[in-house]
Amino acid sequence: MLLYLLVALIDEATAATTISLLDLPLGHLIPMGLVDPEVGLLVLLYRPIMAIPTTSVTVRRLHDVGRSGWWALLWILPVPVLGWLYLIPLLCKPSKIQTVMTS
């Protein structure tokens, strides 16, 4: 979050041009495109790069609480904000302890 704010501040200070997400092909399908449609170029490049580690951590955390990693699709499907309301409390649950039996 702090890194995103730093990138956003640098982007705001250095790049006066903004890109409208809604004008991009399939721009209406981009999560948060309707909330923050005008973004700078650095932020536009930062978002997909950070999607990879965010998805990885979310899948790992879901496995820790005993759920399938496919639940991570709630970040974007079917309706992003409704999925967040279910997924965030799920990610805050305590981990399930699994014992491994060795012979």
- Listed residue (50, 46, 43, 21) closest to 34, CA to CA: 21
**Residue 30 pLDDT grade (very low, low, confident, very high; cuts 50, 70, 90):** low
HSE on the CB side for 44, CA within 13 Å? 15
Residue 79 amino acid letter: V
Residue 21: per-residue pLDDT: 67
Q: Which helix (H) or strand (E) holds 57?
A: helix 41-64
Task: Say whether pLDDT at 16 is over 60.
Answer: no
Q: How far apart are CA 8 and CA 5, in angstroms?
A: 5
Average the pLDDT over 39-55 and give the result.
Answer: 77
pTM: 0.58
Average pLDDT value for the chain: 75
Residue 11 amino acid letter: D
